Amino acid sequence: MINEKDWKQEQERLEQVTEKLQERIAELEPEVAGLRNQAGDIRKRFWEEVTVNTSTQEDFEETFYSIKQQEALLSERERSYRLRMQQWKGMKRLLKSPYFGRIDFQEDGLGFSEQVYIGVSSFVDSDGMSFLVYDWRTPIASMYYDYSPGRAAYDTPGGRVEGTMELKRQYQIRDGRLLNVFDTSVTIGDELLQQMLGMGADSQMKSIVATIQREQNAIIRDDTSRMLIVQGAAGSGKTSAALQRVAYLLYKHRERLKADQIVLFSPNPMFNSYVSTVLPELGEENMQQTTFQEYLEYWLGTALRLEDPFDQIEYVLTEQSTREYEARLQGIEYKASGAFLQALRNYAEWLGREGMRFHSIRFRDRDLITVKQMEDQFYSYDPSIRLANRVDLLQQWLLQELTLLERKEREELWVQEELNYLDKEQYVAAYNELNKTIGVFAFAEQYEEVQEALSNKIRRDERDFDYAEREEEVLRRMVVKEHFQPLRRSVKRKAFIDTVGLYAQLFGDKDVYRTMTKGSEVPEHWPDICKQTKEQLDRHELFYEDATPYLYVKELVEGVRMNTEVRHIFVDEGQDYSMFQYEFLKRLFPRARMTVLGDFGQAIFTQSTQLDGEDSPLTRLYGESDTRLIRLVRSYRSTREIVEFTRSLLPGGREIVPFERSGKKPLLSRADSGEQLAARMAEDLAALQAEGFASIAIITKTSAESLEAYNLLTAQGCPSLRHITKQTPTFEKGTLVIPAYLAKGVEFDAVLIYDASSRTYHRESERKLFYTACTRAMHRLLLYATGEWTPFVQALDASLYEVKCI
């Protein structure tokens, strides 16, 4: 805390700034209302203000310009309105808490020091020169996050500015009232951070703008890397830093970057709702949020039903270790590997020489264009032309062929038959068409006459228009055209390529596979992997692990569909994506920079990717010189006791550093029967609720176990439990029963691990899932088991937890 004199000065300054803010808001209010009304008026009376006259070319031009002028006026008013509205909203936000930090900085060579107050947006005095508050994203404000008092510097577009930071101060201001002021000497305010972290969990993520840590600031402000990889321990603030980074980018590039040019890939739809308030809280619009699954479904269309990653993980967690199971697991791993990616690239080369798969173009139960014809045509193109370009050529050829075939088809018997059954509307359509045709004929006649007059030729006497004959011709043309329309459409969609066949033919004999893929090696369970994959395809279904490779093959053959608008993509829980998925994202968004945030310690999916280290393929995606890796090792979410417990679950977890916030040690309770345990759990839940913890999760391994826990606890009389499934759309406070894989990325005041026995968590592959579940706890962690504890707990030092006997 600071001395009384300083407190008084700060109090006075806050009053002054508040007053100025109020004045500015009062000034802006009529301006905002005026502009809104003006824009509304212009929109309403738009057509009264323009003179529409198209009688002559001149009148037409005048009308055109008058509309353009009116449009420009309207858009100028709307822009001014939006701008003023934004300012007004910014001021309103500041009014509650104008700033949270201050640094006094003396730039080298200048004889005075400047007081830099930092808040969520800038506020300039009426002179237009002095900043009463600096936006936290301005270059000068970066020193607040990067330095302790002493020598400091910041980068500007004009170069580096060096000097001395003489003071660093933090404020807590709520609803315009000064509650606390801290002077900090070391890194930014552990006191304020302590307070923030000691608070309860929320159903929505909070902005961390006042307490961003130095290493997080590096993530937020990195503006040079094509690929930024953040490997950070559970609770180290990866998601928080990512959202602040979005706000930073939107501010720094506000002239050219819009929120919808940024896409965040979230682990599940519920997570979208969890993070959706951070940016609006900072006065920015939300970026686009989606899941990879949504993307896959969009690109796959309706032809194949796609398994989702949650069903895949349920399978991995619940099935017995049979041969099929081992094969599926091996398949998941192989299909996510760099080796398979290379095999598919080689496969595309092979397809350039042979083996393309097409669907014939069928019409009225016969082949109009056969597969053989298509193959011959396709392989007649110059082999040096890229595969996808040859497909384009084939597409053009097919469209031309269809035009010829359509013409021939008009003479077929079925057309005559169909003519007899045309209804009235179709006749009217034909009649209109006919009139248009007559118009064309008439024009052609006139044209010919003039031509002949000019060249003094004798005209052919063909002036009579045979109406009946023409009518039939038009009708025939119309009927056939209508029937050919779907064929053309499907050729345009490239449906003539048998992508399922192309993908399926990979999964056959090992030697054939090797021939097609330049000698690629296959995993041990290859025959079973092939059988499983083909069975799925036969059912028009696709395993989750097949979706991206399937789309990759489709792309290699059909060409890449790109989105060139998007400039930044963020991948949260990045360890859960395969190299295939990264490759796919890179191709899909060729003009975007990528920020990947993840924790290999929480890699719960079989297809995960190591984010850092020598064997990380991710660092090679854009090349090492364009890639930056930042590691976060300090964990902020949980108390020291919980972090000490959870980090011991992971090999290499010792490097995780807990933030100094103390609480109770994790508590282990064991019982002989499920009922006994449920009764105990119900008691603990009631006690936690009575202590004031508003967000509690009972975390299970699978969804079946969630349902079991929910039923048992409800039977014990636990009130208002919520059972969370993959369909739950939003995240709400309360007491939830949730499978671990859905609790990814979110946090709770207290976590109860439903069944931490060796029966439930025993495979080595489940260690990370168990770790992920335990690391969701902020203040309390309670574990339960009937029978033996999981080996992961058994291996822990007994000083890390307390035991309660039932």
CB of 243 to ligand ATP, least distance (A): 8
* 235 assigned to a ligand binding site: yes
CB of 638 to ligand ATP, least distance (A): 9
Q: Does 686 bind ligand ATP (CB under 6 A)?
A: no
CB of 760 to ligand ATP, least distance (A): 21
* 239 assigned to a ligand binding site: yes
Inter-CA distances, 788 with 106, 671, 717, 791, 799, Å: 63, 10, 27, 8, 19
Q: Which of 124, 167, 196, 259 binds ligand ATP (CB under 6 A)?
A: 196
CB of 602 to ligand ATP, least distance (A): 6
Tokens of 483: 């029937």
3-state secondary structure of 571: strand
CB of 739 to ligand ATP, least distance (A): 16
Count of residues that bind ligand ATP according to CB under 6 A: 23
Between 507 and 731, CB nearer to ligand ATP = 731
CB of 572 to ligand ATP, least distance (A): 7
State the Cα–Cα distance between residues 220 and 217, nearest whole angstrom.
5
CB of 212 to ligand ATP, least distance (A): 5
Phi, psi for 16 (deg, rounded to 5): -60, -50
Half-sphere exposure for 282 (CA within 13 Å, toward CB)? 27
Choose the binding region for ligand ATP from 129-137, 233-241, 669-677, 684-692 (rule: CB under 6 A): 233-241
Between 207 and 760, CB nearer to ligand ATP = 207
Shortest-Cβ-distance residue relative to ligand ATP: 237
State the Cα–Cα distance between residues 644 and 774, nearest whole angstrom.
11
Q: Does 238 bind ligand ATP (CB under 6 A)?
A: yes
Q: Which of 141, 143, 173, 193 binds ligand ATP (CB under 6 A)?
A: 193
Are the beta carbons of 106 and 164 closer than 8 angstroms? yes
State the Cα–Cα distance between residues 750 and 747, nearest whole angstrom.
9
Tokens of 148: 């302790």
| Amino acid making up residue 356 | M
* 352 assigned to a ligand binding site: no
Q: Does 208 bind ligand ATP (CB under 6 A)?
A: yes
Closest by Cα among 348, 296, 358 to 500: 358
Are the beta carbons of 368 and 403 closer than 8 angstroms? no
Phi, psi for 187 (deg, rounded to 5): -70, 170
Tokens of 648: 């011991």
Q: Which of 149, 232, 658, 666 binds ligand ATP (CB under 6 A)?
A: 232
* 176 assigned to a ligand binding site: no
Spell out, one character per residue from 765 to 794, where the chain touches ligand ATP: x when CB under 6 A holds, - when not: ----------x-------------------
Q: Does 268 bind ligand ATP (CB under 6 A)?
A: no
Q: Which of 546, 599, 749, 755 binds ligand ATP (CB under 6 A)?
A: 599
Q: CB neighbours of 2 closer than 8 A, spacing ≥ 6?
A: 10, 169, 181, 182, 183
Between 206 and 631, CB nearer to ligand ATP = 206
**CA-angle at 304, arms to 301 and 306, nearest 5°:** 95
Measured from the Cβ of residue 375, the count of other Cβ atoms closer than 10 Å reads 16
Between 235 and 269, CB nearer to ligand ATP = 235
Inter-CA distances, 453 with 211, 443, 459, 460, Å: 88, 15, 9, 12
Q: Does 236 bind ligand ATP (CB under 6 A)?
A: yes
Closest by Cα among 723, 588, 665, 745 to 205: 745
Closest by Cα among 649, 703, 645, 708 to 681: 708
CB of 200 to ligand ATP, least distance (A): 10
Between 42 and 773, CB nearer to ligand ATP = 773
Q: Which of 136, 605, 636, 710 binds ligand ATP (CB under 6 A)?
A: 636
Q: Which of 133, 234, 348, 394 binds ligand ATP (CB under 6 A)?
A: 234
Q: Does 603 bind ligand ATP (CB under 6 A)?
A: no
Spell out, one character per residue from 66 to 85, where the chain touches ligand ATP: x when CB under 6 A holds, - when not: --------------------
Q: Which of 184, 240, 286, 291 binds ligand ATP (CB under 6 A)?
A: 240
Q: Which of 235, 549, 574, 666 binds ligand ATP (CB under 6 A)?
A: 235
Q: Does 237 bind ligand ATP (CB under 6 A)?
A: yes
CB of 632 to ligand ATP, least distance (A): 7
Between 504 and 630, CB nearer to ligand ATP = 630
Choose the binding region for ligand ATP from 77-85, 169-177, 206-214, 669-677 (rule: CB under 6 A): 206-214
SS3 content of the chain, % helix, strand, coil (to 5): 50, 15, 30
CB of 147 to ligand ATP, least distance (A): 16
Q: Which of 121, 216, 276, 606 binds ligand ATP (CB under 6 A)?
A: 216
* 200 assigned to a ligand binding site: no
3-state secondary structure of 205: coil
Q: Which of 17, 118, 120, 212 binds ligand ATP (CB under 6 A)?
A: 212
* 232 assigned to a ligand binding site: yes
State the Cα–Cα distance between residues 264 and 595, nearest whole angstrom.
9
State the Cα–Cα distance between residues 244 and 137, nearest whole angstrom.
10
Q: Where are the alpha helices (DSSP H) in 115-188?
A: 142-146
Q: Which of residues 736-755 bind ligand ATP (CB under 6 A)?
A: 745, 747
Between 196 and 388, CB nearer to ligand ATP = 196
CB of 359 to ligand ATP, least distance (A): 45
Tokens of 683: 């008691």
* 301 assigned to a ligand binding site: no
State the Cα–Cα distance between residues 534 and 528, nearest whole angstrom.
10
* 237 assigned to a ligand binding site: yes
Q: Cα dihedral angle (7, 10, 14, 15), rounded to 10 degrees?
A: 70
Tokens 């509690």 sit at which residue? 696
150: left (phi over 0), alpha (psi -120 to 50) or beta: left
Between 630 and 712, CB nearer to ligand ATP = 630
Are the beta carbons of 279 and 570 closer than 8 angstroms? no
Closest by Cα among 611, 615, 550 to 578: 611
State the Cα–Cα distance between residues 115 and 185, nearest whole angstrom.
17
Between 637 and 647, CB nearer to ligand ATP = 637
CB of 232 to ligand ATP, least distance (A): 5
Between 636 and 754, CB nearer to ligand ATP = 636
3-state secondary structure of 476: helix
| Amino acid making up residue 387 | L
State the Cα–Cα distance between residues 455 and 451, nearest whole angstrom.
6
Annotated binding-site members:
232-239
Residues belonging to the binding site for ATP are 232-239
Residue ranges in contact with ligand ATP by CB under 6 A: 193, 196-197, 206, 208, 211-213, 216, 232, 234-240, 599, 636-637, 745, 747, 775
